[in-house]
């Protein structure tokens, strides 16, 4: 099968992009042909198809002229350049199907019109909440929010939920009004993949037809990694250092458990603030910041952890940090929120705690120190769960079946 995969980045910028690259490799290993489409970027992986990529745009640039700002508005809402280049790619590649991921802003959904005009079916994977809300996290200023529910996108602008900025929030709201009015996603995408039942339920709640979505858990690239069930010394947090991840509350919980140690793996905008919090709480001897780590080094840190902590305070789409921990034989202590609750209830519900509840988290940390056997048992259950639900072979079989079903709808 010949598949075009469209995503704003063709390098590992974040979780969605890492998933896209792993999916590309998985499809190639299954004998399929994969053609990428993305935004041009020097960090992109090399491909002969890059000549069709849409030109780069830097949303972080300051002091733009009015004409530059207007160009960004037009491109974000409907990029004629992206449609033209994507159409040329489709004409050359002649794919069986297009699989979109995150295309908003940098590419825009204009490419869906190019596919529809050529009769090429499109399927999409949901990676965040942008399809239903201008605030793609449904999280602002420390809280879950639902201002946009019922198509009231103007409220996102009113409350500056996008980057805490009126211009950014107004642009995002305008983008959503236009896309709703034009029906571009509704007409252009035949089916969506939701990475959890929670996501499917949430999107249905916001107006997306339930029958337009299928649940397919994200796969793990390597479920054959040897697990280590025996709990190590330090608890581990691995992920982005940002407000919605709830790391500040985790540090407060660590302070309540005198013998608990914590390794923080990752980087992000809150790093300096979190380091100051560690000093203020006087837990510097028990908390270490590892910075950005990946590959085998990250696996080794997790494998030797006491347990993995996922203290998120937003609606996690899936919970990759949890499944990666389970795959390596580790217990996962997580917030009872979003997809984390869905996954955790299937593995070790006793290790879930109310989001932001530092005292409940501290009790679980203390129990993990005094009862390592319970952590080992939870790690074994987690490993079994990932083998049964996150195996790449199971994923690709289900995905190709979906592709075939969508193509047959022609």
Q: Which CATH number does the domain housing residue 264 bear?
A: 3.40.50.2000
User: What is the per-residue pLDDT for 409?
Assistant: 84
Same domain, 341 and 356: yes
Q: What is the reported pLDDT for 71? A: 79
Residues 210 and 342 in one domain: no
Q: What is the mean pLDDT of the chain?
A: 95
CA atoms within a 13 Å half-sphere pointing along the CA-CB vector of 201: 8
Return all residues near 349 (Cβ < 8 A) that are at least 6 apart. none
* Number of domains comprising the chain: 2
Residues 249 and 377 in one domain: yes
Q: What is the mean pLDDT of residues 305-319?
A: 97
Cα 343 to Cα 346: distance, rounded to the nearest angstrom: 5
pLDDT tens per residue across span 139-197: 999 999 999 999 999 999 999 999 999 988 999 999 999 999 999 999 999 999 999 99
Look at residues 100, 113, 93, 268 and name the one whose alpha carbon lies nearest to residue 184.
Answer: 113
Asked whether residue 183 is assigned to any structural domain, the reply reads no
**What 3-state DSSP class applies to 163?**
coil
Domain containing 42: what range? 2-127+190-219+391-408
380, exposed or middle or buried, with CB in 10 Å at 0-12, 13-18, 19+? middle
Beta bridge mates, 169: none
Strands 213-215 and 235-238: unpaired
**Residue 171 located in a structural domain:** no
Burial of 171 (0-12, 13-18, 19+ CB in 10 A): buried
pLDDT attached to residue 259: 96
Whether the Cβ atoms of residue 202 and residue 315 lie closer than 8 Å to each other: yes
In a domain, 239, yes or no: yes
Residues 272, 343 within the same domain: yes
In-domain check, residue 143 = no
Q: What is the value of pTM for the model shown?
A: 0.94
Q: Is residue 172 part of a domain?
A: no
Tell me, yes or no, whether 361 lies in a domain.
yes
Looking at the fold, whether 371 and 400 belong to one and the same domain comes out as no
Whether 239 and 331 map to the same domain: the answer is yes
Q: 198 with 60, same domain?
A: yes
Does the structure show a pLDDT above 80 at 64?
A: no
Task: Determine, yes or no, domain membership for 275.
Answer: yes
């Amino acid at each position: 099968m010949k598949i075009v995969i469209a995503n704003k980045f063709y390098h590992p910028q974040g979780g969605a992009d890492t998933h896209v690259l792993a999916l590309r490799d998985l499809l190639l290993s299954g004998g399929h042909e994969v053609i990428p489409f993305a935004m041009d970027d020097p960090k992109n992986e090399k491909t002969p198809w890059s000549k069709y990529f849409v030109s780069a745009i830097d949303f972080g640039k300051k002091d733009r002229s009015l004409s530059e700002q207007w160009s960004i508005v037009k491109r974000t809402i409907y990029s004629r350049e992206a449609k033209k280049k994507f159409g040329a790619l489709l004409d050359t590649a002649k794919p069986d199907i297009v699989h979109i991921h995150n295309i908003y802003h940098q590419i825009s959904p204009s490419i869906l019109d190019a596919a529809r005009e050529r009769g090429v079916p499109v399927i999409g994977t949901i990676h965040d909440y942008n399809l239903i809300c201008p605030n793609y996290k449904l999280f602002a200023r420390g809280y879950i929010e639902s201002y946009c529910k019922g198509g009231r996108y103007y409220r996102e602008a009113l409350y500056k939920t996008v980057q805490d900025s009126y211009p950014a929030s107004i642009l995002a709201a305008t983008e959503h009004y236009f896309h709703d009015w034009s029906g571009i996603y509704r007409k252009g995408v035949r089916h969506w993949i939701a990475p959890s039942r929670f996501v499917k339920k949430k999107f249905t709640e916001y107006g997306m037809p339930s029958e337009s979505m299928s649940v397919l858990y994200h796969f793990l690239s390597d479920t054959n990694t040897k697990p280590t069930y025996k709990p190590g010394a330090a608890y581990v947090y691995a992920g982005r250092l940002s407000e919605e991840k709830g790391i500040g509350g985790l540090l407060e919980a660590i302070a309540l458990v005198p013998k608990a140690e914590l390794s923080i793996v990752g980087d992000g905008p809150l790093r300096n603030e979190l380091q100051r919090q560690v000093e203020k709480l006087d837990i510097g001897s028990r908390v270490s910041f590892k910075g950005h780590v990946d590959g085998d080094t990250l696996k080794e840190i997790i494998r030797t952890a006491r347990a993995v902590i996922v203290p998120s305070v937003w609606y996690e789409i899936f919970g990759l940090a949890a499944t990666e921990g389970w795959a390596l034989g580790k217990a996962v202590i997580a917030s009872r929120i979003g997809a984390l609750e869905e996954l955790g209830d299937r593995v070790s519900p006793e290790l879930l705690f109310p989001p932001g509840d530092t005292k409940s988290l501290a009790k679980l940390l203390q129990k993990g120190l005094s009862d390592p056997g319970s952590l080992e048992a939870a790690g074994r259950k987690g490993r079994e769960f990932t083998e049964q639900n996150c195996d790449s072979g199971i994923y690709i079989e289900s995905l190709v079946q979906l592709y075939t079903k969508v193509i047959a709808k022609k």
